[in-house]
Structure 1
Amino acid sequence: MDSSLKSKPLEAWSAVDMRALLDAPEVEQAAALIKLNQALQLLNAQERIEWAFKYLPGNHVLSSSFGIQAAVMLSLVTTVEAKTPIVLTDTGYLFAETYRFIDELVERLSLDLKIYRSEQTAAWQEARYGQLWQQGLEGLALYNRINKVEPMQRALAEQQVGTWFAGLRHVQASSRERLPILAIHGRRYKMLPIVEWTNKTVHEYLTSNDLPYHPLWEQGYVSVGDTHSSQPLSLGMSEEDTRFNGLKRECGLHDEI
């Protein structure tokens, strides 16, 4: 990579430059990403997504768990590019409300949904290992590798993904407080267009665009995953306490890939 690229303003970067950055030494990538993120901070979420589709390598996908505020990213990305593949890792343990929410949003937003699952069914896993989510951090780690990490790795490979959009935000957990808008993970870019959005910003977007929260929002859930690892927010709890019995926040999908 031309060493002068890392000091370029955002508008001076070309698609060729962004592909070349993937082959640069890590120290050059880090320096360039600092400048790119500083420039991206000046854009709104839709402008970041538009820039990504124009300059970041394809294929582009959005991963979604169809959680409480999933409609925000689904709307933002598909407004820019309607046929963006939406990757869902289905564990087989989602709430019935989640499956119905998926159906609702797929129809309403005309989503190109790509569903990936473990090669082991939920019943087969329980026969082999028991209920892994009840077996402490080690059991949770194995459960997440089988049901979330491996299916997502397969999705990224099969879809030949060059740019991965996700809806992670700083306020969701301490593990997400320092996430950048744009990062490089191996041979692909990962973009978090709404990473600095507050819950108020999310609410305003959903309201102004007549988009729904997940139906369990009305029952006090602020984060929804599997039935066995999600609970409503109660007094004294933080958002991350409502997942995995407070043992951890991340399933591995975003911190191992």
Structure 2
Amino acid sequence: MKKFTQDELENFNRHLQGIPPAEVIQWVIDNCNRPVVTTNFRPYEAAILHACADILPTIKVIWCDTGYNTPQTYRHAKEVIDKLHLNVKLYMPLQTAAHRDALFGGIPQVDHPDHIEFTQQVKLEPFQRAMGEQDPDVWFTNLRKGQTAFRDSIGILSYSKDGILKVSPFYHWSDEKLDNYLAAHSLPNEFKYFDPTKVLTNRECGLHA
């Protein structure tokens, strides 16, 4: 995918604000070579997975499973994967949760020195390994305005720390609009989700900021 200047990125973001997600995805797919979509099967993830797979059924879906998901999330993931026939590329930490819990004594609090290493092991390393192996030129994600202070500062198009074009087609959508999207496409949702690296819903995990 062509590398955009900051001015081009800002112009695109202004233009794309009112464009339907499916049209944004189609435009990007038509102009890139190695797109991926990432997911952790948190609430409303079924929307971005459906929207991307509807346009490119073979798109690679990177799932970095921390090993600490709730039973509800694992069941939800299976339901969405089966329903949408997703091409999932699963990545997990190099250590098991039991091994890590023995070393850390459980999940470290966010203000504990061990939390940095914990986050590296369960989220950042698997994600970096996934992106290195899949080598995408475009990264679809379901970031939305209003989730965190950092996410409020980007747009539908932004660049990752590694220079990969991130595309967030539902960036300006509210929960209500996403509820309607899920209902219209008979897609499930699941709210019993837990991210051991964030704890607080408005805290960045390190993949994006």
TM-score (norm 1): 0.75
Distance in 1 (CA, whole Å) between partners of 2:185 and 2:105 is 43
Displacement of 1:133 in angstroms is 2.5
Distance in 1 (CA, whole Å) between partners of 2:202 and 2:118 is 13
Distance in 2 (CA, whole Å) between partners of 1:205 and 1:89 is 25
Equivalence for 1:141 = 116
Seen in structure 2, the aligned counterparts of structure 1 residues 135 and 45 have a Cα distance that, compared at 3 Å, is: closer
Seen in structure 2, the aligned counterparts of structure 1 residues 157 and 200 have a Cα distance that, compared at 3 Å, is: same
Seen in structure 2, the aligned counterparts of structure 1 residues 195 and 248 have a Cα distance that, compared at 3 Å, is: closer
Distance in 2 (CA, whole Å) between partners of 1:53 and 1:47 is 10
Read off the aligned partner of 2:194 and give its amino acid letter. Answer: G
Does residue 156 of the first structure (1) align with residue 134 of the second (2)? no
Tell me, which stretches of 5 or more residues in structure 2 are unaligned? none
Read off the aligned partner of 2:114 and give its amino acid letter. Answer: G
Displacement of 1:64 in angstroms is 0.6
Equivalence for 1:225 = 194
Counting helix residues as a fraction of each chain, which structure ranks higher? 1
Distance in 2 (CA, whole Å) between partners of 1:174 and 1:141 is 20
Equivalence for 1:15 = none
Q: 1:108 aligns with which of 76, 80, 83?
A: 83
Asked which structure has the greater CA Rg, the reply is 1
Distance in 2 (CA, whole Å) between partners of 1:248 and 1:171 is 9
Does residue 204 of the first structure (1) align with residue 180 of the second (2)? yes
1:7-26 matches, cutoff 5 A? 18-19=1-2, 21=3
Q: 2:153 aligns with which of 172, 178, 195?
A: 178
Distance in 1 (CA, whole Å) between partners of 2:139 and 2:111 is 30
Equivalence for 2:164 = 188
**Bigger RCO (CA 8 Å, 6+ sep):** 2
Secondary structure at the aligned position of 1:136 is classed as coil
Give CA-to-partner distance per residue, 1:155-187, whole Å, 9 cap, x none: 111011110000011122333222211112334
Tell me, which stretches of 5 or more residues in structure 1 are unaligned? 1-17, 23-28, 230-242
Distance in 2 (CA, whole Å) between partners of 1:194 and 1:86 is 17
Q: 2:100 aligns with which of 125, 128, 142?
A: 125
Read off the aligned partner of 1:62 and give its amino acid letter. Answer: V
Residue identity (%) = 29
Secondary structure at the aligned position of 1:207 is classed as helix
Read off the aligned partner of 1:147 and give its amino acid letter. Answer: V
Secondary structure at the aligned position of 2:89 is classed as strand
Aligned-CA RMSD value? 2.0
